[in-house]
Amino acid sequence: MATILRDGDLSLLDGTVAVVGYGSQGHAHALNLHDSGVKVVVGLREGSSSWGDAEAAGLAVASIPDAVRDAQLVSLLLPDQVQPQVFTEHVEPDLGENAAVLFAHGFNVLYGRIAPAAGHDVIMVAPKGPGHVVRRLFTEGFGTPALIAVEQDASGRARDLALAYAVGIGAARAGILETTFKEETETDLFGEQAVLCGGTTELIRAGFETLVAAGYQPEIAYYECLHELKLIVDLLWEGGFKHMRWSISDTAEFGDYVSGPRVIDSHVRERMQAVLDDIRSGEFAKLWIAEMDSGEAGLRGHRAEAANQLIETVGEELRSLMRREDASAVG
């Protein structure tokens, strides 16, 4: 079993931390570090709509070059697509000689899209949760687990710096795990493609469309294959497979053992392996980088096609009936 770290020396962050970007992760890191007593400046594009939000939250805000200039550590929390260009044009020219550069995901470093000069620590603190949850749990006194990694140790204390940052955003309250940029990136890509995002949506859609094609009402198929999944996942999250199976009926549990492996069979595992092979060989990165470089028309096409699927139109209607304000109006 890997060692879960629960501590670090926050006092190593004794300079300014420049948080570049104030989106999902950016706002959470900036506010959590600030609340932990770290000196934070948020770096934004001139005219950014987040400028007022960050200031209203009590944070110092500056242009990206101004924020970066005197920073001990620069946290690059922009969408992965724009990071290389922003780094080259607005971060690198003003980066202090010994400043550390921090990422929340390893993609750009692993695939050579950003390579800070040898004098800089290159570290990662990747929370295992969406930014808004990272912030909410922190304000509630809890934390979101995080992975830390060191790609380049110029100072000799890059790991300690990553640990300090992880403590500052509250991750030590939940657990910090050491990894490499390669392991974080490859497992993250695999998880979102095969299980969390791609695997789950296709499983739901296949179940929904199987029922609809057999003549069942789409509304019932929606409740069965999508709505109830949330309730099942909550149980899985709380207590694993055993807890979920304790809560469902014995009929459901028996069917789970008998039919689950018929659906997710050895063919599915072979295709998961093929997805993983494409990630490890860099084939997926090549595809996504080509997509980014050519304006992302393919991504927009997939998005438009997905929006027209029956499960989405039926779901929109049903969810509008289940909103909380309707529920409370009914009593």
Report 21-50 residues binding ligand NAD (CB under 6 A).
Answer: 21-26, 45, 48, 50
74 binds ligand NAD (CB under 6 A): no
3-state secondary structure of 63: strand
Token reading at 138: 């922190």
Token reading at 269: 């595992």
List the beta bridge partners of residue 74: 18, 101
Give the one residue of 35, 66, 80, 224 binding ligand NAD; rule: CB under 6 A: 80
Q: Do the beta carbons of residue 73 and residue 100 sit within 8 Å? A: yes
Crossing angle of helices 266-281 and 181-190, in 10° steps, is: 140
Give the one residue of 10, 86, 101, 146 binding ligand NAD; rule: CB under 6 A: 86
Stretch that binds ligand NAD, among 5-13, 72-80, 174-182, 250-258 (CB under 6 A): 72-80
Token reading at 117: 């000069």
Q: Which is nearer to ligand NAD, 13 or 78 (CB)?
A: 78
77 binds ligand NAD (CB under 6 A): yes
Q: How far is the CB of 312 from ligand NAD (least distance, A)?
A: 22
Q: How far is the CB of 20 from ligand NAD (least distance, A)?
A: 7
The closest of 79, 69, 139, 82 to 105, measured between CA atoms, is 79
Q: Which is nearer to Mg ion, 121 or 188 (CB)?
A: 188
Report 122-161 residues binding ligand NAD (CB under 6 A).
Answer: 126-127, 130-131
Q: Which residues contact 91 (CB under 8 A, 6 or more apart)?
A: 20, 64, 65, 68, 74, 76, 101
Q: Do the beta carbons of residue 179 and residue 148 sit within 8 Å? A: yes
Candidates 27, 29, 34, 105; catalytic one? 105
Q: Which is nearer to ligand NAD, 45 or 173 (CB)?
A: 45
Q: How far is the CB of 246 from ligand NAD (least distance, A)?
A: 31
Q: How far is the CB of 87 from ligand NAD (least distance, A)?
A: 10
Residue with tokens 């069917």: 255
Catalytic status, residue 105: yes
Q: Compute the distance between CA of residue 176 and CA of residue 8 in angstroms, rounded to an integer.
A: 10
The closest of 52, 109, 114, 71 to 89, measured between CA atoms, is 114
Give the one residue of 31, 188, 194, 208 binding Mg ion; rule: CB under 5 A: 188
Q: Which residues bind ligand NAD (CB under 6 A)?
A: 21-26, 45, 48, 50, 77-80, 82, 86, 104-105, 126-127, 130-131
Catalytic residues, by residue number, are 105
